[in-house]
Structure 1
Amino acid sequence: MTTGTLITVAPTGAESAKAEVPALPVTLDELLLTARECEALGAAVIHVHVRDDDARPTLDPGRLRETVTALRESTDLIVQLSTGGAVTDPEAARLAVLDAAPDMASCTMGTVNFGDGVFLNRWEFVVDLHTRMQERGIVPEYEIFDLGHLSTLRRLLDRYGLPAGGHVHVDFVMGVPGGMPGTTEALVACRQALRDLPEGTTFSATGIGRSTIAVLLASLSAGGHLRVGMEDTVTYAKGRPVESNMQLVARAVGFAQLAQRPPLDTTGARALLGL
């Protein structure tokens, strides 16, 4: 079991509308303020989606490069870009996210129903994403929406080798309608399946919506790490909207300290992830 906890903040996402969630950080200035405050609380990684001038999700290359540069200038956070975008984004635009040269990027291990949509991740696309990240020295976070995605990851690593940096880190995304449930039992099943992956593989867990706290506690007790943020939940408690990403990071930090696994700083996080 790891002695420290890697905390990732996912502040925006591509699903919630600013009009419905006014606290959502959608401008670059709002994102930078959120990043600095969350870093001060204990976050070490920021998982980034960007929005356009109308607060709609975008994979615009210029905005992505500007965002990566600004985050590096303003914080010491590990910058992880989403290659998922919105479920309607084409593969070419998702691959082009890597041109912004982040420290890390997400790499989803398979197709999954996503609410009323379908999050398409063909095998050929996954291979392309993985090998391009190897070539560019970008560390992937392998996103696992269902148990079978871990088998796909094993196949990927067996055929195409370890990721940049040599360390395998996965994120269990739990509670998405269409994916695995956000329960302790599901997390334990995923944790056991990690035995088939390279020795030293680490994991984070993300609980969507009302599964947030259950997944957070289960991950800590199983030796895992945490991802929290307004991409994943906009309700702090029943009938109580999230006021800021800092609320969610502070809660995660508090639980990590109670578990006697305090947050890793950015230096410790880079060492853990092979950066």
Structure 2
Amino acid sequence: MRALPRLMVAPNGARRGKADHPALPITLPETTATARACFDAGADGLHLHLRDDEGRHLLDTGRYAEALAELARTVPGMAVQITTETAGRYAPPHQRRVALDSGADMVSVSIREITEGQDRATTAAFFEDCAAAGIAVQHILYDRGDIALLCDMLPEALLRAPNLQVIHVLGRHANRQESDPADLDPFLTEMARRGLAPDWAACAFGRAETACLVSAHERGGKCRVGFENSLWHADGSLARDNADRVTALRRALAALPA
């Protein structure tokens, strides 16, 4: 099962569009070109969102399979993780089918979304099916309540497995959201209290994205950067594109004491 990349880029997400930034990729050719540029800038993973012909968030097995094949051809050294985020458009049964049937070996899943209205047996079976298929599931955690939900819903063998993957989301998809490095504290405290030691990453919103990710790196985590979460550099200036954000973060990490 593939480990989390050390520096993953999330170039578009489900909500932003060209009105937010003209370099935000929408089409597959744009996403592929962005992936190539970010890989060249030092990102070793891509968090993949697709859009339909009207630019809306899309979860579709066929379109994912097409995108994965194109990315494997264009950026063969880059790990690709698909999202199952609903953005208010999809239900858990659809999410489960997309995760299992798209041909991806890395999938991002919100524990609160995939369990909504579902019984524990159904959810546990889904995670076991992913593990059996060699699919690395990164569990999206928005707060300590999500950690509790993960502990309730995930089979114990998967919860305590050394390859458990999570991402701590510092902040929310909200207008003028500004995250803070201290937002990471409750997550790490709760994980330690429960005796969990996952392969983890963080993402953060707003102009403090770089500071938050540097803090995550210093505390043993991995980083997810990009226009899904922030369009800005640490000095408040607008990034040129996603590769510009990757480069800025790499420089900030390289400046840390050895």
Can you list the C-alpha shifts for 1:93-141, whole angstroms capped at 9, x where unaligned? 2222221121210121225xxxxxxx98456375354233123210011
Give yes or no for the alignment of 1:27 onto 2:27. yes
Q: Does the 8 A contact of 1:167 with 1:200 survive in 2?
A: no
Secondary structure of the corresponding residue to residue 162 of structure 1: helix
Q: CA deviation at 1:72?
A: 1.4
Give yes or no for the alignment of 1:250 onto 2:252. no
Can you list the C-alpha shifts for 1:196-231, whole angstroms capped at 9, x where unaligned? 556642221100123413311321221211100111
Q: CA deviation at 1:187?
A: 0.8
CA distance in 1, matches of 2:152, 2:201: 21
Aligned residue pair count: 248
The match for 2:90 is 89
Q: Does the 8 A contact of 1:10 with 1:48 survive in 2?
A: yes
Secondary structure of the corresponding residue to residue 8 of structure 2: strand
TM normalised by structure 2 equals: 0.84
Picking from 142, 147, 153, the partner of 1:145 is 142
Stretch of structure 1 that moved more, 237-246 or 38-47: 237-246
* Distance change >3 Å, CA 142–CA 197, structure 1 → 2: farther
Q: CA deviation at 1:53?
A: 2.1
The match for 1:105 is 107
Q: Does the 8 A contact of 1:101 with 1:138 survive in 2?
A: no
The match for 1:170 is 166
TM normalised by structure 1 equals: 0.79
Structure of higher RCO (CA pairs closer than 8 Å, 6+ residues apart): 1
Aligned AA (1:105): V
Give yes or no for the alignment of 1:235 onto 2:232. yes
* Distance change >3 Å, CA 153–CA 196, structure 1 → 2: farther
Q: Does the 8 A contact of 1:141 with 1:171 survive in 2?
A: yes
* Distance change >3 Å, CA 197–CA 259, structure 1 → 2: farther
Q: CA deviation at 1:238?
A: 7.0
CA distance in 2, matches of 1:197, 1:38: 36
- Extract unaligned runs of 5+ from structure 1: 112-118, 262-275
Q: Does the 8 A contact of 2:171 with 2:205 survive in 1?
A: yes
Alignment of 1:1-275 (within 5 A): 6-75=6-75, 76-98=77-99, 99-110=101-112, 121-122=116-117, 124=119, 126-127=123-124, 129-157=126-154, 159-162=155-158, 166-176=162-172, 182-196=179-193, 200-236=197-233, 240-259=237-256
CA distance in 2, matches of 1:128, 1:41: 39
CA distance in 2, matches of 1:74, 1:57: 23
CA distance in 2, matches of 1:140, 1:194: 17
Q: CA deviation at 1:17?
A: 2.1
Q: CA deviation at 1:10?
A: 0.5
CA distance in 2, matches of 1:126, 1:176: 25
Q: Does the 8 A contact of 1:107 with 1:129 survive in 2?
A: no
Q: CA deviation at 1:160?
A: 4.8
- Extract unaligned runs of 5+ from structure 2: none
Q: Does the 8 A contact of 2:207 with 2:236 survive in 1?
A: no
Q: CA deviation at 1:236?
A: 3.4
Can you list the C-alpha shifts for 1:76-106, whole angstroms capped at 9, x where unaligned? 1111010114223222322222211212101
CA distance in 2, matches of 1:90, 1:19: 28
Name the Cα RMSD after superposition. Answer: 2.8
Q: Does the 8 A contact of 2:210 with 2:233 survive in 1?
A: no
CA distance in 2, matches of 1:30, 1:260: 36
Aligned AA (2:153): L
